[in-house]
Amino acid sequence: MSYQNATSELNVGSQPGPKNPQRTEGSTQYGDYGSALLENHLSVGDFVKIQSAFESPEPRQTVSMSREEFVQKMKEIIVWGTEKDYQELFDKVDVARDGFINWDKLTSFMLLELYEKDERAKATVVPQWKALEFLPVKHKDTIQKVIFLKSSSRYLTISKEGLLGIWGENLTLQETLPVTSDVTKLKHLWVTSLVSLENVNKIAVAFTSKEIYFYDLLSKEEFPCQYKLQGLKATPICMDYWYDPLDANESILSFGDITGKVQAISFTAALISLFERPPSACEDEDNTMTIDWAELLSGYHKCCYILEHKLHHGDWVRQVAYSASLDAIISSTTSNTNTVVLAWREKSKKHLKMTSFNISQGIHAFDYHSQLNLIATAGINNKVCLWNPYVVSEPVGVLWGHSASVIAVQFFAERKQLFSFSKDKVLRLWDIQHQLSIQRIACSFPKSQDFRCLFHFDEAHRRLFISFNNQLALLAMKSETSKRVKSHKKAVTCVLYNSIWKQVISSDTGSTVSFWMIDTGQKIRQFTGCHGNAEISTMALDVNETRLLTGSTDGTVKIWDFNGYCHHTLNVGQDGAVDISQILVLKKTILVTGWERYVMLHTKLTITVFRPQNFNQSFIQPEEWKGGVQHRDDILCVAFLPPQTLATGSYDGEIVLWNNSTENAHHALHPDYQRLLKSKLDAEPHKLLSADRNSSPTPTADQVTLRAYPSEVDTEGNNAVMRLCFLVARKNIAVTEGANLVSCGGSGYVRFWDTFKKQLLAEFLAHSGAGSIIMSIDKLNRYLVTGDLDGWVKVWNIEDYCLNSSQNKVTQPPPLIRSFQPHEDRISCLEMCELWGRSLIISSSADCSISVTDVCSSPIWSFGQAKHWQIENCISLPKRDTNLLESEIQEKSIRTIPLLSKEELCLDPTEHSLLDKKNKEDSTDNVRASEDINLGMKYKARNCRKKKTHKLYDGKVIQKTSSAFRSLTIGALKELPEVNKPAFLLDPEKYFQEEPEEECPQIPELPPLSETLKAVFDEKNLFPKEILDHERRAKQLCQETSGEVKLKRKKKQL
């Protein structure tokens, strides 16, 4: 039976079913599964008719139908279908056997049916894999663990000899570091396991020396050891770590040893400290603190307690894991008694109650799926068993198919599938619901018989890691084919709008930049290989929108013209790779923010500045930012408010306010506190201001209290500032004490700040449960657009939001105008633009698509779709009135337009950007294979006419010219006084009557030439005698000369 196309959908339209011959034969577009069911053939029109049949003439009353009434009614309104079909549908809806159904029961049944079929279709999707790839590891011994760090988007691998490998998200090996213990020498030391403590940014490493070391990932030093847990009774060989996402202070570190003992450390204040520091310990934060296991057992450390059991009776504990949904610690051995033990935590949380499974020959590994409530075990007897945690007598399912012992299992949680890997190097994928093997993979794995295998599936990135001793193989899942239009071949990272040319500029992770016409969606230009193979992380336009700046993960910013020529390369990362988060182009400087990876996982925060006086070379080095770096975490965004206010936001939630002229910071804002900053040369300590936002807006000196801001970094990014936007269009904010700065980011919150009073005025939850979000605001500060990790976009009306100060923080969100999902994956960038008096939203996503729509309910267009649109005709909303100030009108009228071709010679630029100073001869960088798409002379002529005349919102027309006049305003003409009509209008017959035609005299015909010729033509009568004599002598001379030449030739021959 095939379930590939089992997803049921409603047919759009209202055409009755039996007219389609395919329905009569029982095969439809939905596949074989359930094709004969009546509910699969009902269209939207059919459901509208059914709903009207259930409507009651009285308000708030529902109509219920019996079986006979329902069948009779359906035969009348649907027309097609048999009586038996309607009876079967009624029986399916009437689950309680009440004998009556209503509209609510029918819709509930249809929704549940669609959901179940969608789940069945998802569970039977067979993934496609890329070719097997072996990663270039530097491990000399068996690889013990592979983990992924979500906070830094890096992979960690560790081998038995104690070598730690750090990999980028693109699986490039960045660094290797030795991990050693002080107890034994390196040659006698084995590393047994590794876990990541994500909530506190640490990793824990277990050694054969009966120790567990805790390393801090955020320290400025090279990978320091913060805690040493010593005095264990046996060697820990497997570990697991869990923390509560709702309360990161609650976490559990569980491990099993070679004596069969399972132990767990339950932390209650992990964010503050894992262990209590002894009074005699050094005050230095980076000093290693030694913890004795006996101290933990005695209860000396109040911030944690111990749980343990010995039910495995001396057998090596092969795997251990804590399940939050079961509130139990699961462990396994290769023994056939007490093979799997579930240690349930009782209400006191400090005692365990054990249950166990007995599995013949034991198991190698297990995995638990919380939604299915199933434990899968990898049996030594070649079987994969599925267990209900509450039923220990026998498994609920057995998966047969492996011909060798199974050594690893792991659930594909999203699709409710299961991976299993056997000792004969065969990988299988199982459909759990039907307990069938849907895929078998036997790749060219290493041929060695004796090997230790590590199996790890990274579901978020669709990557499967399988290690064979010291080799690490990668099976990457191919991206699923989707019907969605793709604008780029790879994930889109940034999108910009050029208001001069009405073009959308986009970049992707493959270092490609594309140019699109916003009014039609047509691609007109594309640059490839702008930064080699490095990803373009961000882009920006210069002040005049004549140059494009691209920032890449290779640590450089390049400045391009629109013909694909690179004028300058700005070196941001002098010592190594830099993650560039944003580029801000000001009149006198270019600011680049981000973080530099310089030691393992630690980062060096950077604010890089470039000044115009250095733009006389192609390769430019940065200058020093005078104010230093006041942030304690990665800088993610930056915004500027004229004339001199600069704001930067970081991952820990701090917003630092700067004076752009002096480059000094003066305040740091945070949702929980604020602190007063000093310049870099000031040796005084930072003054910390209270975060009591309920106090008066203008506190006096006596009301200001000092307190220490939290020393722990926000490792979860709950307050991370992903975007900053100043509300530039709001005037007189200093007087009205309203909000002039908007921030968004972690946990889906949007916050409004008053930078003059250093006060948080409002915060509201824009996207619930969607993680971090990004935003954009239109130039008139009317609309706020937010996007989340699931591809959803929301439009908010903020025109009247937080215009004045209030005593209490506002938590009520502004009016929501629209909510829609233009993308299937994370929204990577949002941009708002004004076109024909309407506000448009441009969004890009990691699903490789770029979309455009307006703030209300217009359709969503995707760049790259086959059919181009005419956006001016599609948006039917009336143009809104916008009163622009004279200064804004003048600024628009003198704006520079770049010259790209002769056809576009409509305007001349009047001023140049600071980036135009470099000649093309000085540059050595060009992009590969620039792809240009001709639009034709018809389009260019139309575009040229549009550029000559710009209609403003108030109805005035500005005519741009290259003469001395900047603008010309033509007003309404005065009415002329009445004048007497001229005589030719009063008596038109007199002046315009037709005159009689006069007869033209006939012209006599000329006689023929033969009759008028008096003598025969002779040239002697035509030319003078002297000329004729001169010509005769010349002919004679020529004949004599030629005769002499012939005689000489004959003599020579003789």
* Helix-strand-coil split of the chain, %, nearest 5: 15, 35, 50
- Nearest Cα neighbor of 565 from 546, 580, 579, 587 is 546
Q: How high is the pLDDT of residue 872? A: 73
Could you report the per-residue pLDDT of 621-633, keeping only the tens digit for each? 888 788 887 888 8
Q: What's the CA gap between 860 and 851, in Å, rounded?
A: 6
**pLDDT > 60? residue 885:** no
Query: Average per-residue pLDDT in the chain?
Result: 78
Q: What is the DSSP letter of 11?
A: B
Q: How high is the pLDDT of residue 195? A: 96
Q: How high is the pLDDT of residue 469? A: 87
Query: Which strands form 602-610's sheet, in the order they lie side by side?
Result: 578-585, 590-599, 602-610
3-state SS record for 907-974: CCCCCCCHHHHCCHHHCCCECEEEEECCCCHHHHHHHHHHHHEEECCCCCEEECCCCCCCCCCCCCCC
- How many Cβ atoms from other residues are within 10 Å of residue 315's Cβ? 20
Q: How high is the pLDDT of residue 121? A: 65
Confidence band (pLDDT; 50, 70, 90) for 1038?
confident
CA-to-CA separations, 229 to 289, 292, 467, in angstroms, rounded: 9, 6, 29
In the chain, % of residues over pLDDT 70: 74
Q: What's the CA gap between 763 and 159, in Å, rounded?
A: 47
Could you report the per-residue pLDDT of 96-133, keeping only the tens digit for each? 888 888 888 888 888 887 777 766 666 667 888 888 88
Sign of CA dihedral 434, 435, 436, 438: positive
Q: How high is the pLDDT of residue 966? A: 42
Q: How high is the pLDDT of residue 909? A: 37
Could you report the per-residue pLDDT of 390-417, keeping only the tens digit for each? 998 999 999 999 999 999 999 998 888 9
Half-sphere exposure of 616 (CA within 13 A, CB side): 2
Query: Against a cut of 0.75, is the pTM above it?
Result: no
Q: What's the CA gap between 774 and 842, in Å, rounded?
A: 13
Q: What's the CA gap between 327 and 350, in Å, rounded?
A: 12
CA-to-CA separations, 731 to 395, 670, 727, 800, in angstroms, rounded: 70, 25, 9, 13
CA-to-CA separations, 795 to 26, 340, 659, 830, 836, in angstroms, rounded: 45, 52, 32, 11, 20
Residue that is written with structure tokens 């400090």 in the block: 350
| Amino acid found at 752 | F
Q: What is the DSSP letter of 199?
A: G
Q: How high is the pLDDT of residue 656? A: 94
- Nearest Cα neighbor of 204 from 230, 240, 232, 175 is 240
Q: What's the CA gap between 47 and 54, in Å, rounded?
A: 11
Per DSSP (E only), the strands in 699-768 are 721-726, 741-745, 749-754, 759-765
Confidence band (pLDDT; 50, 70, 90) for 727?
very high
Sign of CA dihedral 10, 11, 17, 20: negative
| Amino acid found at 931 | E
CA 955 to chain centre: 39
Q: How high is the pLDDT of residue 282? A: 52
CA-to-CA separations, 905 to 276, 897, 909, in angstroms, rounded: 73, 10, 10
Q: Among 260-264, 290-294, 915-919, name the one with the lowest average pLDDT.
A: 915-919
Confidence band (pLDDT; 50, 70, 90) for 805?
confident
Could you report the per-residue pLDDT of 578-606, keeping only the tens digit for each? 788 899 999 889 999 887 654 333 445 66
User: Of the spans 369-373, 978-982, 994-998, which averages the highest pLDDT?
Assistant: 369-373
Is 820 in contact with 876 (CB distance < 8 Å)?
A: no
Q: Which residues contact 164 (CB under 8 A, 6 or more apart)?
A: 156, 157, 158, 176, 177, 178, 179, 223
**pLDDT > 90? residue 7:** no
- Nearest Cα neighbor of 153 from 473, 601, 476 is 601
Burial 892-926 (b: 16+ CB within 10 A, else e): ebebbbbeeeeeeeebeeeeebbbbebeeeebebe
* 421 phi/psi in degrees, rounded to 5: -135, 130
Of the two residues 512 and 110, the one the predictor is more confident about is: 512
Q: How high is the pLDDT of residue 950? A: 39
Q: How high is the pLDDT of residue 1004? A: 63
Q: Among 247-261, 692-706, 867-881, 984-998, name the one with the lowest average pLDDT.
A: 692-706
Could you report the per-residue pLDDT of 177-186, keeping only the tens digit for each? 888 755 545 5
Q: How high is the pLDDT of residue 596? A: 66
**pLDDT > 70? residue 503:** yes
**pLDDT > 50? residue 830:** yes
Could you report the per-residue pLDDT of 897-921, keeping only the tens digit for each? 343 433 343 333 333 443 444 444 4
Q: What's the CA gap between 525 and 564, in Å, rounded?
A: 9
**pLDDT > 90? residue 975:** no
Q: How high is the pLDDT of residue 881? A: 42
Residue 96's SS3 state is: coil
3-state SS record for 883-911: CCCHHHHHHHHCCCCCCCCHHHCCCCCCC
Radius of gyration, CA atoms only, the chain: 40
Average pLDDT over residues 496-521: 94
Per DSSP (E only), the strands in 388-470 are 397-399, 406-412, 417-422, 427-431, 436-441, 453-458, 463-468
Q: Which residues contact 248 (CB under 8 A, 6 or more apart)?
A: 199, 200, 270, 271, 715, 716
